[in-house]
Amino acid sequence: MSLSLHHLVREPKIKLDKNPLLLLLHGYGSNEEDLFSFATELPDEYFVISARAPFDMMYGSYAWYAINFDADENKFSDIGQAKKSRDKIANFIDELVANYPIDLQNVTLIGFSQGSILSYAVGLSYPEKVQRVVAISGYLNTEIAVDNFKENDFSNLKIFASHGTVDQVIPVEWARKSIPVLENLGIFVVYKEYPVGHGVSPQNFFDFKNWLQS
């Protein structure tokens, strides 16, 4: 099936008329195989679909947007590319709902690192398309959301956010700062930290899986 983003699919083991969707969004420089490696451990009733980011970095590496460095090694995110990816993901959700028996009232984004930043942006921009976000090792960058996102209805959006306390790639403070911003929008947020670096600890996986099932 040729959709706008290359993707891997794990069909639900329990078939319903319409099944819920877990859409996995990998980090910078990775690919769709990365998060899909734990697809077998995710709940049986879900379609688990892992998308490949659109910007090719060579050798099986992809990004949702470029990260550039200036002469002083300051990092800059390419916000224009990030917004394009935001809308590609939103469009891709529509394509998945049109092509698979997916319950459009039961869509969860699970993002890691850059995929987590995009998950936040899609959730805030299009809360009518996404009911849950699992944001692992990322942070909220409101520049990537649509301009008038604060006017959206977030009453059906729930977020599980998690971060490693010794993350050397994205400081834990960035994740912590995101939580009050989300709560001020009236979004229900569960936030957890783990004594790990930039990665998904077994306890983190267990906690968000339990959160999904509750």
Kindly report, residue by residue over 201-211, the tens digit of the pLDDT.
999 999 999 99
- Closest alpha carbon to 101 in 49, 51, 47: 47
Question: Which residue type sits at 8?
Answer: L
Q: Quick one: pLDDT at residue 67?
A: 86
pLDDT at res. 1: 64
Look at residue 156 and tell me whether its pLDDT is greater than 70: yes
Q: pTM of the predicted model, to two decimals?
A: 0.95
Whose tokens are 């783990």? That residue is: 194
Nearest to 99 by CA among 31, 32, 21, 212: 21
100-150 pLDDT, tens per residue? 999 999 999 999 999 999 999 999 999 999 999 999 999 999 999 999 999
Residue 10, both tokens: 């794990």
Give 2's pLDDT tier (boundaries 50, 70, 90).
Answer: confident
| pLDDT score at 83 | 97
Q: pLDDT tens across 34-86, in order?
A: 999 999 999 999 999 999 999 999 899 999 999 877 666 677 889 999 999 99
Query: For residue 189, is pLDDT > 80?
Result: yes
The CATH architecture to which 7-213 belongs is 3-Layer(aba) Sandwich (3.40)
Closest CA to 40 of 12, 7, 6: 12
Distances (CA, A) of 78 to 3, 115, 131, 196, 209: 25, 14, 27, 28, 32
| pLDDT, position 93 | 98
- Determine the pLDDT at residue 188: 96
pLDDT of residue 72: 67
Phi and psi at residue 179, in whole multiples of 5°? Answer: -65, -50
Residue keyed to tokens 């977020």: 159
In this prediction, residue 108 carries a pLDDT of 98
Closest CA to 122 of 104, 153, 145, 96: 145
For the cut 90, the answer to whether the pLDDT of residue 199 exceeds it is yes
